[in-house]
Amino acid sequence: MNEAIFFLSMNEFIVVNGEKIQIFDGILDLGWKKIKNLSDIVDFEKLGHLKGLILRENNLEFIPDSLCLLNSLKFLNIAGNRLSSLPKSIGNLISIETINAEYNQLIRLPKSLGNLINLKILNLSKNKLTTLPDKIGNLKSLEDLNLEYNELNEIPESIGNLK
């Protein structure tokens, strides 16, 4: 596991590059930790109860599918990384209400994003998106969609289905 060690106990904490990080009130904050590969650090299968995950400002180039097994996750902050895409399995985050993916290098989004029927806030600003999946119109709970500073050439008609 490289320089990082995963440890989970009754007190729930992990150690990343020698720093002890506690999971507090169901929220794990791994922002600004210079993480390149989450799979080397976190075993998401043991964190099924997690409500919030902050991965802001790391060096992530991909999100592992195992993260998308977190059925209780309400918010995910993956802003400020090097992501060019999101995994197809992101559609499995059935409880997710907020995703902040601003300041990445996203060029496309998976169709499965349309499965996130509880999603209320989706921030995709400052990426490289040229189009959106047709299924984006399925996000019936969506209240705030930020697409500023992208390279969108077209918007799917289904976006008219949103509130």
Task: State the CATH number of the domain containing residue 47.
Answer: 3.80.10.10
Mean pLDDT of the 104-116 span: 98
Q: 44 lies in a domain?
A: yes
With tokens 């189009």, the residue in question is: 131
Q: 12 lies in a domain?
A: no
Q: Phi/psi of residue 29, each to 5°?
A: -105, 105
- Residue 145's contacts (CB-CB under 8 Å, 6 or more residues apart) are 122, 124, 139, 162
Mean pLDDT of the 52-74 span: 97
pLDDT of residue 10 exceeding 50, the answer is no
Domain count, the chain: 1
Mean pLDDT of the 115-130 span: 98
For 83-99, the DSSP string reads -S---GGGGG-TT--EE
Residue 54's domain spans which residues?
25-161
Q: 16 lies in a domain?
A: no
- What is the pLDDT confidence band of residue 13, given thresholds at 50, 70 and 90? low
Percent of the chain with pLDDT over 70: 89
Instruction: Give the Å distances, CA to CA, from 54 to 4, 46, 51, 77, 80.
Output: 17, 17, 10, 5, 11
pLDDT of residue 136 exceeding 80, the answer is yes
The pLDDT mean for the chain works out to 90
